[in-house]
Amino acid sequence: MKRTVNTTWFLGLAIADFVFCVFLPFTIVNVARDKDWLFDIHMCRAISFILLLNMYVSVFLLTVISVDRCVVVTFPIWSQNHRTVRVASFVVLVAWVSSTVLSLPSLLFRDIQPLHKKVLCIYNYKNSLGLPAHEMVVFMRFIVGFLLPFMLIVLCYSIVAWKLKSRNLAKSSRPLKIMLHNSHFCCLNVASANRFLNPILYVFMGTEFKGILRQSIFSRLKKAEDSQITARSTMSKSQNSAPL
């Protein structure tokens, strides 16, 4: 598949989803054991770090994709000259580095604590030098991981909808319904299943795959039609050659 800006976005998301899927069984085991942690402290910190990293990377890249779509629709000439694979790769790298920095509290404050005949993998802020670490982490996660990306996504797709409407490309309410549907928040189980489905969706969205699929369907239809014509001609010849 040819390397494009879109495939660069999708590759960054696919890597994050793949890492999430690799570590998901540990979370499933923890939930199945009623949060009784089975592994050591290093796994506690690593798994929490990976899950939080995946959340930030996914949110940041989805926001970047929204901004990219808005720029393409709003400034088509400028985006054609400056929207390159190199720039997209740099943006993906920045998203990963930023997500890594924001996920560091999981490595610093995660700990295993015995409680009610169980061992829990939880945050422990006792060694935070008296700083309100929990409040800071929750505040940063809400602002950077939800509020700002959500506002940017809504703003970008509102601009896209307004541009499409002004160009008379959206004569029906279907684009608006699609955007509203895509912005709907799903529960945790659906989000986990989404990690497995994303790589398949990325392949189906590729231009080359669409062309190959279209050619394959057309070739099969043509073969079926040719076989029907051959069968009919053979049947007519046999009927004509049959003795009266």
Q: Considering the domain boundaries, does residue 243 fall inside one?
A: no
Q: Which of 132, 126, 128, 138 is nearest to 102 (CA)?
A: 138
Q: Considering the domain boundaries, does residue 244 fall inside one?
A: no
User: Whole-number mean pLDDT of the chain?
Assistant: 77
CATH number at residue 159: 1.20.1070.10
Q: Considering the domain boundaries, does residue 111 fall inside one?
A: yes
What band does 62 get if pLDDT is binned at 50, 70 and 90? very high
Q: Considering the domain boundaries, does residue 164 fall inside one?
A: yes
Domain that holds residue 143: 5-205
The count of domains in the chain is 1
What band does 29 get if pLDDT is binned at 50, 70 and 90? confident
Instruction: Inform me whether the pLDDT recorded for 11 exceeds 60.
Output: yes
Q: Considering the domain boundaries, does residue 237 fall inside one?
A: no
> 118 - beta bridge partners?
115
- Residue 231: alpha-carbon gap to chain centroid: 48
The C-alpha atoms of residue 160 and residue 170 are separated, in whole angstroms, by 11
Q: Considering the domain boundaries, does residue 222 fall inside one?
A: no
Q: CA 36 → CA 46, 113, 188, distances in Å?
A: 17, 10, 20
What band does 229 get if pLDDT is binned at 50, 70 and 90? low
Q: Considering the domain boundaries, does residue 213 fall inside one?
A: no
Q: Look up residue 166 and give its two tokens.
A: 């002004």
What band does 185 get if pLDDT is binned at 50, 70 and 90? very low
Q: Considering the domain boundaries, does residue 214 fall inside one?
A: no
What band does 211 get if pLDDT is binned at 50, 70 and 90? low
Q: Look up residue 98 and give its two tokens.
A: 């930023």
Gyration radius (Cα) of the chain, Å = 26
More confident residue, 214 or 154: 154
